[in-house]
Amino acid sequence: MPWKKYQLVFKLLSPLHIGYRKVGNLHQTRKYVPGKVLWAALTARLTRMTGKGDSSKGYSDIGKAVANHFRFGYLWPAIFKNNNSTEQSKLEVCYPWSNTDYDYQFLNSYASTALNYDFQSSEEGTLHETEYIAPKTRENQQVYLKGDLWVEETDLPQDLKKWKEALQKIHLGSERNYGWGRVDLISNLQDGIHDSPEIIIKMKKKDKKVHLPAHVFAIVDGKEVNEVVGQVEPLLGWERDNSNSNRVWKLSNPVICYTPGAIVKIDSAFEIDAFGRLKKI
């Protein structure tokens, strides 16, 4: 079952908030786009394009099909180091662990509050600040999002065949009602073919400056993964409960992972899952 690899480049057109955690009244954003966010965005767009968006079953069925035929890498902010360059090969990905001024260059925040119209004032206790990845850096450089996508096209279901068109119409992250998360796909260049049932990423111990650009499962088959060094977090998020007739949202079960930026202690190989997370093999 061969997988075709595509390089994705999105131009960021508006603020982008990827829910992370709350510190005080600040809603922090992740500094990247996890693969699951891209999976959800593509699933939502394909479901609507196929006319199945009027039922939770439509989203569920297409979501499962997308997970079977796609593997999503994480998207990371990228800029042209040379402002005069337009060649995508010159577009450099920026990682927090290799850029000491990453937060200053790429992150900003927006303060807002709910209003109490009876008293013509703000609603008590609702003032909050939402952090976001800005579409322009502090130095006014355009920000792009760059990452990889693998597609198993051998037996692609009919509902998924317009995935390239769907990627051109997706929105990412939250606060979309305010116009956030708008992106423009400017590249989906095919980069290679992998004749393998799974996508394998290999890392060598000597590559100490090479960091894993995605979450890594810290526990595999009940055993701790000790070959990886990095910070650990419980990875979870909100999901629609399609088994509930009221379509309520619920927190997903937490998965203990090494955060993006981890390194390996020995030569290692990782399998990428449907949401871009890495599993030690």
pLDDT per residue over 124-161, tens digit each?
A: 555 668 999 999 999 999 999 999 999 998 889 999 99
pLDDT per residue over 266-278, tens digit each?
A: 999 999 999 999 9
DSSP 3-state of 216: strand
Strands (DSSP E) contained in 159-213 are 183-195, 200-203
What is the structure's pLDDT at 253? 85
What is the structure's pLDDT at 120? 56
Query: DSSP per residue over 82-119, as a string?
Result: STT---GGGEEE--GGG-TTHHHHHEEEEEE--EETTT
* Alpha-carbon distances of 18 from 130, 133, 134, 174, 277, rounded to whole Å: 10, 9, 12, 6, 16
* Alpha-carbon distances of 155 from 31, 53, 65, 250, rounded to whole Å: 35, 23, 11, 33
What is the structure's pLDDT at 176? 84
The span from the first CA to the last CA of the chain, in angstroms, equals 19
pTM listed for this prediction: 0.89
Instruction: Give 122's pLDDT tier (boundaries 50, 70, 90).
Output: low
Instruction: Give 115's pLDDT tier (boundaries 50, 70, 90).
Output: low
- Side-chain-side CA neighbours of 185 within 13 Å: the count stands at 21
pLDDT per residue over 181-214, tens digit each?
A: 999 999 877 777 777 778 888 888 766 678 999 9
* Alpha-carbon distances of 135 from 2, 115, 140, 190, rounded to whole Å: 35, 28, 9, 26
Q: Give CA–CA dist 38/173, Å, rounded.
A: 9
Averaging pLDDT over each range in 73-87, 102-116, 122-136, 266-280, which range is the top one? 266-280
What domains appear along the chain, each with residue ranges and CATH number?
Answer: 2-197 (3.30.70), 198-281 (no CATH)
What is the structure's pLDDT at 1? 67
